[in-house]
Amino acid sequence: MKIYTEIPEIKPITPLLDKVNFPTDLRSFSSHELKQLADELREFLLYSVGISGGHLGSGLGVVELTVVLHYLFNTPEDNLVWDVGHQAYPHKILTGRKKTIDKIRHKEGLAPFPSRAESQYDVFGVGHSSTSLGAALGMALANKDAVNKKHTIAVIGDGAMTAGMAFEALSHAGHEKPNILFILNDNDMSISENVGGLSNYFSRIWASKLYKGIRKSGSSFLKNLPQAHHLARKVETQMKAMVAPGMIFEELGLNYIGPIDGHNIDELLEVIGNLKEFEGPQFLHIITKKGAGLDAAEVDRIGFHAISKIKPKDSSKNKSPKYQDIFSDWIVDTAKQDQKLIAITPAMREGSGLVKFSKDFPDRYYDVAIAEQHAVTLAAGFACEGKKPIVAIYSTFLQRAYDQLIHDVALQELDVTFALDRAGLVGEDGPTHSGNYDIAYLRCIPNLVIMTPANESETRMMLSTAYNYNGPATVRYPRGTGPKSEIDRGLASLEIGKANLVRKGSDDVIFLNFGSLLHEAIAACENLNLTLIDMRFVKPIDKDILRRFLSKANLFVSLEDGSIAGGAGSSIQEFCAEENIIIKSKLLGIPDKFIDHASREEMIEEVGLTAKQIEETLQQLI
């Protein structure tokens, strides 16, 4: 494997990769040529991600594995399922998308993750983690009686293996025993001593065709030794217990092989080539380096998980803080004042802004890995004992813990604060990561306070409001930076359920804003002289201000960075029906469709929520 010291800015020379447009093109290569192809693929990946920006570290780590899988298996007839999809860039390059990979995550470019709509080689759409094993198992079971047998392979990372649903799928696979290959891409460590030597030796034995014959007791020699199978299996079990960390998978009914070096093409070819012929569920454990092949990425695996496109460095010293930075400062300041504060996150320390907190208060910080359901119930347990837990989680990931939110927190009215990052349209990561639905799925839950800050200052105050409220409360805020409002560094709270009259204008049309698009609303309302109210709270809603202004208006317009269906605007319509207020309405927000990846600004424009578009809509209504 070649090692690169920097990301190339000039397109590299790749004679073998140039010949590969689809996997069939590489299946005539020799093992030596496959190694050269892997080097060229890695360099081309570095170059293309440098142009486009995007996920880098995971893809670098699976270059050799990707080459071998497409070489050995008859994709797309055979099913190859990638978990999450961060690691699927090399897969996309080898499956007909090489010429467009530099537009990945851009508007009208390639999707950031495998997408069934994009390619027949993407057999399952992903984005959230830990779904590959269950999906692949469904495919394997669906094809178990087919005349033309398909191979089914799922590649899952060690981080995704921390989710409960991954083990649910493994347990079911051990029960059903279909022909399926699960590959654990373990990149949490460098190649360690147990990859090689005795462990590698036994891994090759267990994955050999000879040993397969011994286990099946199929040869004429073994017919004379009826106990050979049982003896071989007993020895295998004992040796695996000594040299391999895979006994849990054996107990689930899987044949565990590994760990092996995930960057050694010869070893991958031998082991996976043999496992193709095995019957039943196979579990192959490979060790890789995240960021493999780029010096800086191997050292800083977190920093190079994803990168921005290469461009001249910004010399500005006064960069606006991101919303996650607002949260970071607030939680550290609050923790200094209250020893009861506990921070919980499901593997989102960097993204949620908990790095400083984790260093300053390590005894009060809990990263539960990719286990959103557990994160919420863990918080409930803390609250039962008088602690003040804060769950820092992306809006799109809270969806995975909906039952726990209702059953374990809201029903029991427990004092848990939810800091919902990445609410609304998120940009390049696309519909799997956009937090469009939290207002709709939260506001139907009793006992829950829901806040939608409009800027950085309101975000800090609402976090304090949620924390000081004795019960479950959520604060949703978007990805990226805000409108640069002046931030009060104190820990003041707002009155629960109290809206803010931003400007007084015409009494005929009332504009109601929920959340981060207030600056767009202000520009539109000023040009049209409309009354503008920043509602701040979706639940409880400010009924007093609504009665005062809506009872004499002909039209209200609501704006939210969330789904129109079931959203905050719908709550205003419900209020008017309850109060018998006869009024027309126009709800502005995200329409009832998934919005494809683009920049956040392009997404907002696509759904008609820029100031200019809002003003044009209002002019037509008025």
Choose the catalytic residue: 400, 443, 476, 479.
Answer: 400
**Which residue, among 94, 157, 96, 90, has the nearest Cα to 129 in the 3D structure?**
157
Is 612 part of the annotated catalytic residue set?
no
Which residue in the block uniquely carries the two structure tokens 């087919």? 146
The three-state (H, E, C) secondary structure of 502-558, written as one string: EECCEEEEEEEEECCCHHHHHHHHHHHCEEEEECCEEECCCHHHHHHHHCCCCEEEE
**Which residue, among 554, 503, 548, has the nearest Cα to 525 in the 3D structure?**
503
Which amino acid does the sequence have at 439?
I
Which residue in the block uniquely carries the two structure tokens 């981060």? 516
Choose the catalytic residue: 92, 105, 215, 290.
Answer: 290
Give yes or no for a contact between 345 and 375, defined as CB atoms under 8 angstroms apart.
yes
* DSSP H or E segment with residue 184: strand 180-186
| Distance in angstroms between the alpha carbons of the first and the last residue of the chain | 66
Choose the catalytic residue: 372, 428, 456, 615.
Answer: 372
C-alpha radius of gyration, the chain, whole number: 27
Q: How far is CA 216 from the centre of its chain?
A: 42
State both tokens at 330: 């607030």
What DSSP letter does each residue of 8-19 carry, written as one string?
A: -SSPPP-TTGGG
Give yes or no for a contact between 112 and 428, defined as CB atoms under 8 angstroms apart.
yes
**320-343 burial, b for 16+ CB within 10 Å, e for fewer?**
ebbbbebbbbbbbebbeeeeebbb
The three-state (H, E, C) secondary structure of 250-287, written as one string: HHCCCEEEEEEECCCHHHHHHHHHHHCCCCCEEEEEEE
What DSSP letter does each residue of 63-87 carry, written as one string?
A: HHHHHHHHHHS-TTTSEEEESSSGG
Is 372 part of the annotated catalytic residue set?
yes
Backbone φ, ψ for residue 476 (5° rounding) = -105, 135
The beta strand positions in 374-428, using DSSP E, are 388-394, 417-421
Query: Other CB atoms closer than 10 Å to residue 165's CB: what's the count?
Result: 18
As a whole number of angstroms, the distance between CA 56 and CA 218 comes to 46
Is 400 part of the annotated catalytic residue set?
yes
Active site amino acids: 290, 372, 400
